[in-house]
Amino acid sequence: MTKLLYIISSPRGAASFSTKLGNAIIEKLKIDQPDIVINKHNLSTNPYPHLEEPHITSFFTPKEMRSPEQHQLIQRSSDAVKDIQETDIVVIATPMHNYFVTSGLKTYFDSIVRAGLTFRQTEKGTEGLLTNKKVYVALASGGIYSSGHTQSNDFATPYIKLLFTTMGINDVTVFYVEGTEIPGVTETALEKAIEKISV
């Protein structure tokens, strides 16, 4: 059995380009791995909190010394860490928002990149604690960033890759559905993006 964690972050529901591309990635994965079990989370309808002082204090309080309130406050973050620890594949579907990922995906990452759980600091630097996982990203953007002079404006791709590298996952593949707001491009953008999926 293969476990797949599916993270959706577009606020646009069924109309979302990134979600449609994410769904297509999963369909392609299912061809060779029909036994995939999907654990789906929608960050738009069920967002993670912005980290405030009590969250940070709870994270850095040793588990056995946390108060019941502290445990409760970070329970969802701890559950999210467990989900990613236990999965084989992660699929992230996100639109580009202001050259970056959605704020919902950012707060999710803030909840799972946890010292001592998904990474640790050593004398040699940061060491990721997650191993043997593949990540596929479906990134939707109104403009085109995969080539040309706008390439360096895509802060989402390097950020997502760095985030997973920090946690020990280097096998990250990004698929793009681009130009979704460009007349003449948007009409075929999804179809072209799905054609390029190789998993």
Ligand X SMILES: Cc1cc2nc3c(=O)[nH]c(=O)nc-3n(C[C@H](O)[C@H](O)[C@H](O)COP(=O)(O)O)c2cc1C
- Based on the shown chain and the rule CB under 6 A, indicate whether residue 181 belongs to the binding site for ligand X: yes
Using the rule CB under 6 A, which residue among 5, 7, 17, 135 binds ligand X? 17
How far apart are CB 150 and ligand X at their closest, in Å?
A: 8
Shortest CB 92 distance to ligand X, Å: 12
Among 25, 141, 172, 176, binds ligand X (CB under 6 A): 141
192 binds ligand X (CB under 6 A): no
CA triplet 27, 173, 141: central angle to 5 degrees? 85
Closer by beta carbon to ligand X, 82 or else 196:
196
| Residue whose tokens read 């993670």 | 48
**Whole-angstrom distance, CA of residue 90 vs CA of residue 173:** 11
How far apart CA 59 and CA 54 sit, in angstroms, is 9
Whether residue 127 contacts residue 168, with contact meaning beta carbons closer than 8 Å, is answered with: yes
What's the CA gap between 94 and 163, in Å, rounded? 15
> How many chain residues bind ligand X (CB under 6 A)?
17
157 is a site residue for ligand X (CB under 6 A): no
Instruction: Provide the mask over 88-107, with x wherever binding to ligand X is found by CB under 6 A and - wherever it is not.
Output: -------xxxxx--------
CB neighbours of 173 closer than 8 A, spacing ≥ 6? 134, 135, 136, 137, 199
47, 128, 143, 168: residue in contact with ligand X (rule CB under 6 A): 143
